Amino acid sequence: MRGPTAKAFKQGFLRSFLLSLKSCRTGDMSLQERKRAVRSSADAAMATARGGGAIWPRALLASSSSSPSSSSWPGLLLNAAKVKTTRCKSTARRCCRPKRSSSEMIARRLVRKRTKILRGMVPGGELLDSVSLLREAMDYVVHLRAQVAVLRRVSNAMHHMAATSYLTGLDLSRLAQGLLHRVCN
Amino acid sequence: MSSRRSSRGAISEEEINELISKLQSLLPNARRRGSGQASTTKLLKETCSYIKSLHREVDDLSDRLSDLMSTMDHNSAGAEIIRSILRS
């Protein structure tokens, strides 16, 4: 992700993330509940900040939401991506060809196996053909890295802030401004 | 992505190779590999491992954040911090 795009994504992510945490009322939660809430807020914020340029954000939001509208997203997905049935046709043709060497068959089987695993790791991957899956995986990896980067800076900054305010009694809102500046730049 | 499918609607081998090498460059320990199914398998395996490790990092950081937040809630500082960040 290039500079301005990365910065815009990180800022959007941070904003959505903090808004989501704020609305969660984490103060009333158990430790496990809060951990889950933070994790799902982070994922929802990443998907929201990414927007409509890929499939995985919608899949991620659909899997975390319990609203009835989420059941319709596979239909939206099939309109946007290549349908799996076209792949099955070419597979049938391959089966009718003369036998290949067993090492080649093993290699093919491994590729299929690995592709299947990758499908499970990319949100929405199950409905994509292998080429779209590779594109989605790339996009997903790039945004996962940005998510990790922002979360790390937020937790470092919050840790620093908590320690500083405890020791110095400094005004927390001023420290918070510094956090926002450090995290987004 | 700048690459587009050909007018026939199918994707060319060239585009696939470009896609694969772009993905390769994203992964840690990116090394030049030959083409072929053995390296495709390796690429897929490394992509899966990388995504898995990124997920783990997000988990760990979320845990760390939720611990920090509980500390701040006890000081009733968490809500104030979040409010002031969103105001700016």
pLDDT at B3 over 50: no
**Are B10 and B1 spatial neighbours (Cβ–Cβ below 8 Å)?**
no
Q: Considering only alpha carbons, which residue of chain A is nearest residue B84? A: A173
pLDDT at A76 over 80: no
Distance CA A47, CA A139 (A): 11
Q: With cut-offs at 50, 70 and 90, classify the pLDDT of residue A82.
A: very low
Q: How far is CA A86 from the centre of its chain?
A: 27
Give the pLDDT mean for B34-59. 87
Q: With cut-offs at 50, 70 and 90, classify the pLDDT of residue A83.
A: very low
Interface subset of B 32-71, CB within 8 angstroms of A? 36-38, 40-41, 44-45, 47-48, 50-52, 54-55, 57-59, 61-66, 68-71
**Are A154 and B58 spatial neighbours (Cβ–Cβ below 8 Å)?**
no
Q: With cut-offs at 50, 70 and 90, classify the pLDDT of residue A104.
A: confident
Closest CA to A114 of A125, A103, A101, A123: A125
Distance CA B23, CA B30 (A): 9
To which H or E segment does residue B5 belong? none
What angle (nearest 5°) sits at the alpha carbon of residue B1, between those of residues A185 and B7? 165
Is the Cβ pair B84, A144 closer than 8 Å?
no
Alpha-carbon distance B61 to nearest alpha carbon in chain A (angstroms): 6
- The beta-carbon neighbor of B45 closest among A19, A38, A114 is A114
How confident is the model at residue A184, as a pLDDT?
60
What pLDDT, in 10s, does the model give residues A152-184?
Answer: 988 888 887 777 766 666 665 566 666 666 666
Q: Residue A132 has which token pair?
A: 């779209």
